[in-house]
């Protein structure tokens, strides 16, 4: 629809000047990170492009080959982000210390492997089974082929468990040949985050991760946390053991692991651990070579920077002095207690500062947007490479902290009940003299380098007149320059994806759903029926009143489900005495027809489902469930 518009532009003189300022402000002469990121390399990534069964590209290790170690930053890339991308693109199999290895840049996260006495222990098996399998095969090409005897999930985000079936089979876990160990609350956190708001999170994640952008100096140059996310098969095997308390110790194939729970930090369920025999410490994803997100722009529950700071401090107290290497689930390790404590300590101070400074200024009466412009990290932290805002930024973390404590409302009654964006946009245009007048003034602002203002004001034109080509092009140009200036890979991708969709329209591409088969099967019935409630179209349900009893023959569970007043509610452990229908079934049958693998009729014909006395009430409830379309509009109404 919009393919005739001017495509990507060069960096303007204003963008070049802003990017050049960083070259003087930051210690680019410090090359220790490059030495650490290259240390211990055994072999580069091998095997080429990974594809799914349907031919879709899952992972292309050469996607960022244009990012050369020795090349200066292009004019269209923030030089600090370019440096981070150079570091993140260093992939392959690395020896960290004796018995501990990592495969990096085979996905956004690292696959970490520890050699036990009889087999190997795998930490955080990536997003996709295809990537995890390839990473493990690279390890086996250079180390003895031994069985996987344990898998550890450090926390509940999909890039730390989704590839598990690429390294172990469900049958081996069920047979007790493989232990799967996770922190308390892992399964509920992992499943709920990827299901309840999974569709909208996925759409927004495509912006944050720049998944649909070309990989080049005017497009995606990486995420700051890693190069990219893979797009393969997301799997899940439920934990067989749970770490329930700090200080808990486990012998895992001859090695002594001591654990520390760190809930409500980077993930709702997260843990750190120390391997005594190796002097090896991980703080999971709470200590990386970037400032992280206390709020992720794809959308998620706001994280607690105070807890984050506290747990990094506790990690230092427990293990700092005896740490020989600190390795992460992203990025590269640091060696020696001094370096480890320095990295942990600066992270502790930064997240504590974000929490306390936000609240200090809020108590002076400032709102979130004002505080985000005022707060700067102390100079030592600001110049520390591992706290630059490549993935999370100080700006949006401060806003998130404000919302965590005080909510979305800034206290000004004028912002309490604004018009919806499309309605407000039309009023703005009327007040400002119409689209042509707005665009004329906005072009002048663009020529003066006022890209933030142009993006804000022209957005009203796009929302009032989405077919206005001149407005779309000017908005895209402004967003593009903001992307070129961004030190955060996430902000760059958001800006550039917005520009791309303004120029070419909202795409419609088939992508894997976060509601994968394994995720659906892992849901408790309580979570499952909560998910059905999210999908219920309440307005369409109207005044309908239906009671359904669910009786599961394989698990012995019972559920009474009620539709009333446009809402689904349920009670576990019993059936209702006067139900409109009783569905007797197996859990696997429920999973299959909800996933669309079969129909209710197919399951009834096979004998897996029976409905008495009448199937019509069940069909009526199922007909009221929405299916979510991934590619809804974001940058336009």
Whether residues 562 and 432 fall in one domain: no
Whether residues 135 and 52 fall in one domain: yes
Query: Which residue segment(s) compose the domain that 368 sits in?
Result: 40-404
Whether residues 359 and 452 fall in one domain: no
Whether residues 90 and 192 fall in one domain: yes
CATH of the domain at 101: 3.60.15.30
Residue 409 domain flag: no
CATH of the domain at 573: 3.30.1050.10
CATH of the domain at 469: 1.25.40.880
Whether residues 389 and 423 fall in one domain: no
Whether residues 146 and 281 fall in one domain: yes
Question: For tokens 């973390």, what's the residue?
Answer: 397
Number of domains the chain is built from? 3
Residue 483 domain flag: yes
Residue 34 domain flag: no
Asked if residue 308 lies in contact with residue 286, where contact means CB atoms within 8 angstroms, the answer is: yes
Of 382, 404, 426, the residue at which a domain comes to its end is: 404
In DSSP terms, which residues pair with 552 in a beta bridge? 585
**DSSP H or E segment with residue 568:** strand 567-572
pLDDT given at position 275: 98
Whether residues 114 and 232 fall in one domain: yes
Residue 410 domain flag: no
**Cβ burial 237-253 (10 Å sphere, 16+ → b, else e):** bbbeeebeeeebebebb
Asked if residue 396 lies in contact with residue 295, where contact means CB atoms within 8 angstroms, the answer is: yes
Question: What whole-number distance in Å separates Cα of residue 442 and Cα of residue 458?
Answer: 7
Residue 15 domain flag: no
pLDDT given at position 496: 97
DSSP state for residue 337 in the 8-state scheme: H
Residue 386 domain flag: yes
**Residues in the chain where the model's pLDDT stays below 70:** 1-5, 512-515
pLDDT given at position 5: 67
Question: What whole-number distance in Å separates Cα of residue 481 and Cα of residue 19?
Answer: 11
In DSSP terms, which residues pair with 326 in a beta bridge? 281, 334
Whether residues 477 and 426 fall in one domain: yes
Question: What whole-number distance in Å separates Cα of residue 32 and Cα of residue 208?
Answer: 29
Residue 631 domain flag: no
Whether residues 566 and 594 fall in one domain: yes
Give this prediction's pTM: 0.94
pLDDT given at position 380: 97
Whether residues 143 and 252 fall in one domain: yes
Residue 279 domain flag: yes
Pure H helices in 328-416: 337-362, 368-374, 379-382, 394-406
Of 470, 504, 538, the residue at which a domain comes to its end is: 504
Whether residues 189 and 289 fall in one domain: yes
Instruction: Show the tokens assigned to 475.
Output: 């908005």
Whether residues 187 and 109 fall in one domain: yes
Of 404, 428, 462, the residue at which a domain comes to its end is: 404
pLDDT given at position 515: 67
């Amino acid at each position: 629809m919009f393919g005739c518009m001017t495509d990507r532009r060069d960096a303007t003189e204003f963008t070049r000047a802003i990017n050049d300022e960083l070259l003087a402000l930051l210690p680019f002469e410090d090359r220790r990170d490059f030495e650490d990121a290259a240390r211990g390399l055994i072999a580069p990534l091998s095997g080429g492009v990974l594809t799914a069964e349907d031919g879709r590209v899952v992972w292309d290790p050469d996607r960022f080959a244009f990012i050369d170690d020795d090349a200066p930053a292009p004019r269209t890339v923030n030089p600090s982000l370019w440096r981070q991308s150079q570091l993140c693109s260093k992939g392959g199999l690395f020896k960290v210390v004796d018995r501990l290895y990592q495969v990096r840049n085979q996905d956004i996260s690292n696959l970490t492997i520890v050699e036990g006495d009889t087999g190997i222990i795998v930490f955080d098996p990536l997003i996709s089974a295809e990537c995890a399998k390839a990473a493990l095969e690279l390890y086996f090409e250079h180390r003895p082929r031994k069985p996987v005897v344990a898998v550890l999930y450090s926390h509940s985000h999909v890039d730390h468990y989704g590839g598990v079936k690429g390294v172990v089979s469900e049958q081996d876990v069920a047979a007790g040949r493989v232990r799967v160990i996770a922190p308390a609350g892992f399964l509920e956190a992992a499943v709920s985050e990827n299901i309840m708001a999974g569709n909208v999170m996925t759409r927004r994640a495509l912006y944050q991760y720049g998944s649909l952008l070309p990989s080049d100096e005017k497009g995606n140059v990486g995420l700051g946390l890693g190069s990219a996310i893979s797009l393969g098969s997301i799997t899940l095997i439920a934990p067989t053991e749970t770490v329930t308390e700090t200080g808990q110790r486990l012998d895992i194939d001859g090695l002594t692991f001591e654990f520390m729970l760190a809930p409500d930090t980077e993930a709702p369920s997260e843990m750190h651990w120390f391997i005594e025999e190796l002097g090896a410490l991980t703080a999971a994803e709470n200590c990386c070579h970037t400032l992280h997100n206390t709020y992720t722009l794809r959308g998620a529950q706001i994280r607690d920077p105070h807890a984050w700071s506290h747990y990094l401090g506790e990690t230092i107290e427990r293990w700092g002095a005896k740490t020989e290497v600190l390795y992460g689930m992203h990025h590269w390790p640091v060696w020696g207690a001094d370096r480890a404590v320095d990295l942990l300590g600066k992270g502790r101070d930064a997240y504590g500062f974000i929490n306390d400074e936000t609240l200090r200024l809020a108590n002076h009466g400032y709102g979130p947007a004002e505080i985000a412009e005022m707060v700067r990290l102390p100079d030592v932290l600001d110049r520390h490479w591992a706290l630059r805002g490549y993935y999370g930024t100080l700006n949006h973390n401060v806003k998130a902290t404000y919302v965590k404590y005080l909510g979305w409302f800034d206290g000004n009654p004028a912002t309490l009940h604004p018009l919806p964006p499309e309605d407000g946009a039309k009023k703005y245009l009327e007040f400002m003299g119409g689209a042509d007048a707005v665009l004329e003034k906005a072009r002048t602002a663009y020529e003066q380098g006022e890209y933030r203002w142009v993006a804000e004001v022209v957005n009203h034109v796009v929302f009032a007149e989405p077919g206005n080509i001149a407005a779309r092009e000017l908005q895209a140009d402004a967003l593009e320059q903001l992307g070129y200036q961004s030190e955060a890979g996430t902000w760059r991708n958001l800006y550039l994806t917005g520009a791309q969709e303004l120029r070419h329209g909202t795409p419609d591409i088939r992508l894997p759903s976060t509601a994968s088969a394994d995720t659906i099967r892992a849901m408790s019935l309580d979570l499952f029926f909560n998910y059905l409630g999210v999908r219920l179209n309440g307005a369409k349900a109207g005044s309908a009143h239906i009671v359904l009893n669910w009786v599961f023959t394989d698990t012995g569970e019972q559920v009474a489900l009620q539709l009333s007043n446009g809402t689904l509610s349920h009670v576990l452990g019993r059936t209702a005495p006067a139900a409109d229908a009783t569905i007797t079934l197996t859990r696997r049958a429920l999973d299959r027809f909800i996933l669309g693998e079969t129909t209710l009729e197919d399951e009834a014909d096979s004998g897996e489902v029976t409905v008495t006395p009448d199937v019509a009430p069940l069909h009526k409830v199922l007909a009221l469930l929405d299916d979510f379309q991934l590619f809804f509009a974001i940058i336009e109404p």
